[in-house]
Homo-oligomer: A and B are copies of this chain.
Amino acid sequence: MKIVVQKYGGTSVGSIDRIKNVANRIIKKKEEGYHIIVVVSAMGKNTDRLLDMAYEISKNPPKREVDMLISTGEQVSISLLSMTLNALGCDAISLTGPQVNIKTVGNHMKSKISDIDDTILRHHLKDNKVIIVAGFQGVNEHRDITTLGRGGSDTSAVAIASKLQCPCEIYTDVDGIYSTDPRLYSKAKKLDRISYEEMLEMASLGSGVMHGRAIELGQKYGIPIYVASSLEEKPGTIIKEVAQMMESTAITGMAIDNNDAIITLDYVPYSIQVISDIFSRLAKKDVNIDMISQTSPRDNSVSVSFTVPKIELKEAKEVLSYFESKYPEIRVNTKEDITKLSVVGIGMRSQSGVAAQIFALLAKENIEIDMVTTSEIKISYVINPENQQTAIKVIAEEFGL
């Protein structure tokens, strides 16, 4: 039995007309001989509308009840898609997360899938029905309805594909994964394929196409994930194991992020206790630190720089004011106007000197670098936004992105 899981996001099912478009795509796939399980999100801004009602009642509504509320969004879209398929003569059945028995653990609004009972799915597949499953939701041990948090529907789709050991197709409002943001670099290339690891780095860098959880799940169970447009008939990008790739280039993609600010602390006492205390207090306030760099000690003090999302800058400064009063010698500098440019590539593992190559490119253009951090398959640079376009251009041209 040739099975495929397809996932359509909120924009793709945002109106009755769009739902009809999705239904026609499903029917086309079915005519190719596939048994199809479709995972759908809530229509357009429906989830936001429901959340607005909840927050009108309380600033901190019980999360169990929020899940009860927002899970209705997907229930609406699965029923409408099923009706549309049936109206077009295609036998279909809609199922909620609890009906599929998508078992979850953990807290409400950010539950994790622990297992899926495939009995019901296999039963309807045998009947040759298109199965429409509500994404983003499951059920916990108390039979409460749960939701999976950000990127939840992608995770539902990949989890079902993992259970059935079949490919997964994610249809969205972008037509694939690009070497860099096409809005910033018009000559950006769409990738035919990318490895799970590279995609994970791209996801964490905010390329925004797919959530990291779904990619991790695909990697764990070896499920190829195809990302393509739900509106256009263009080839998309496949995310799969690197071992399956014949060649690997040094750099696969480049991500640009303008949402962070950089904080530099000078004259910090050279003590792991102090440094550790700073970052644990920031963590307690839920400030997300991304890049961190620390200078070598000089006169028994160090400089520490790190990036934080601009929207968390206020919380970060509150934490730091505590240290300013405790250690009056500390100087805090913040710079909000920065560009974080990251290059990602599995090929970096085998090709040394990528960092040096980029330093040379930037030096030639006189682009100053505020901060650098590196990982096994990623290098991130903080530069001035005014140099962003030049940097993108020279790096993209050098590495053929």
Residues on A facing B (Cβ under 8 Å): 16, 19, 50, 53-54, 56-58, 61-62, 64-66, 68-69, 71-72, 75-76, 78-80, 82-84, 86-87, 93-94, 96, 98-99, 143, 145
Indicate which residue in B54, B58, B72, B87 contacts A58 across the interface (CB closer than 8 Å).
B87
- B57/A84 in contact, CB under 8 A: yes
**A82 and B16 alpha carbons, distance in the complex (Å):** 31
Report A99 CB to chain B, min CB distance, Å.
6
Contact: A65 with B87, CB < 8 Å?
A: no
Cβ contacts under 8 Å, A82 to chain B: 62, 65, 68
Known: A57-B83, A58-B86, A71-B75. 8 other contacts (CB 8 A): A16-B57, A58-B84, A62-B86, A65-B79, A68-B78, A69-B75, A69-B80, A72-B76
Q: Max chain B CB contacts within 10 Å: which of A56, A83, A99?
A: A83
The listed residue with most B CB atoms (<10 A of its CB), out of A54, A68, A94, A143, is A68
For residue A144, give the distance in angstroms from its CB to the closest CB of chain B: 8
Residue with the highest number of chain B CB atoms closer than 10 Å, among A50, A78, A86: A86
Q: How many copies does the complex hold?
A: 2
- Cβ–Cβ contact B75 & A61, under 8 A: no
Given the known inter-chain contacts A16-B53, A53-B16, A143-B99, please indicate yes or no for A69 contacting B76, CB distance below 8 A: yes
State A53–B16 Cα separation when bound (angstroms): 8
B68 lies within 8 A of A86 (CB): no
- Within the complex, the shortest CB–CB distance from A400 to chain B, in Å, comes to 47
The residue on B at minimum CB distance from A23 is B57
> Of B61, B65, B83, B145, which one neighbours A54 at CB under 8 angstroms?
B83
Residues in B whose Cβ lies below 8 Å from that of A87: 57-58, 61
User: Of B54, B80, B98, which contacts A80 at CB under 8 A?
Assistant: B54
Question: Shortest distance in angstroms between A305's beta carbon and chain B's nearest beta carbon?
Answer: 43
Q: Please, which residues of chain B bring their CB within 8 A of the CB of A75?
A: 68-69, 71-72, 75
Which residues does chain B contribute within 8 Å of A94, judged by CB atoms? Answer: 65, 68
A145 to B72, CA, bound (A): 13
Q: How far is the CA of A61 from the CA of B72 in the complex (A)?
A: 19
B-chain residues with CB within 8 Å of residue A71 when the two chains form the complex: 75
Q: Which residue of B lies closest to A91 (CB)?
A: B62
CB distance from A34 to the nearest CB of B (A): 22
Chain B residue numbers with a CB within 8 Å of A69 are: 75-76, 79-80, 83
- Given known pairs A53-B16, A94-B65, A94-B68, the reply for A58 and B83 (CB within 8 Å) is yes
Q: Which residues of B contact A64 (CB under 8 A)?
A: 93
Say whether B76 contacts A61, CB under 8 Å.
no
Q: Name 5 A/B residue pairs within 8 A (Cβ), A-sorted.
A: A16-B53, A65-B79, A66-B83, A68-B75, A75-B75
Q: Are A56 and B16 in contact (CB under 8 A)?
A: yes
Task: Return the contact of A65 from the options B56, B83, B143 (Cβ within 8 A).
Answer: B83
> Are B76 and A50 touching (Cβ within 8 A)?
yes
Cα(A65)–Cα(B76), bound, Å:
9
Q: A232 to B71: give the CA distance in the assembly, Å.
A: 34
B residues less than 8 Å from A98 (CB atoms): 98
Residues of B within 8 A of A145 (CB): 96
What is the minimal beta-carbon distance from A37 to any residue of chain B, in angstroms? 17
- The chain B residue with its CB closest to the CB of A19 is B57
CA distance A83 to B52 in the complex (A): 13
The 7 closest A-B pairs by CB, nearest first: A72-B72, A69-B79, A68-B79, A58-B87, A61-B83, A65-B79, A57-B83
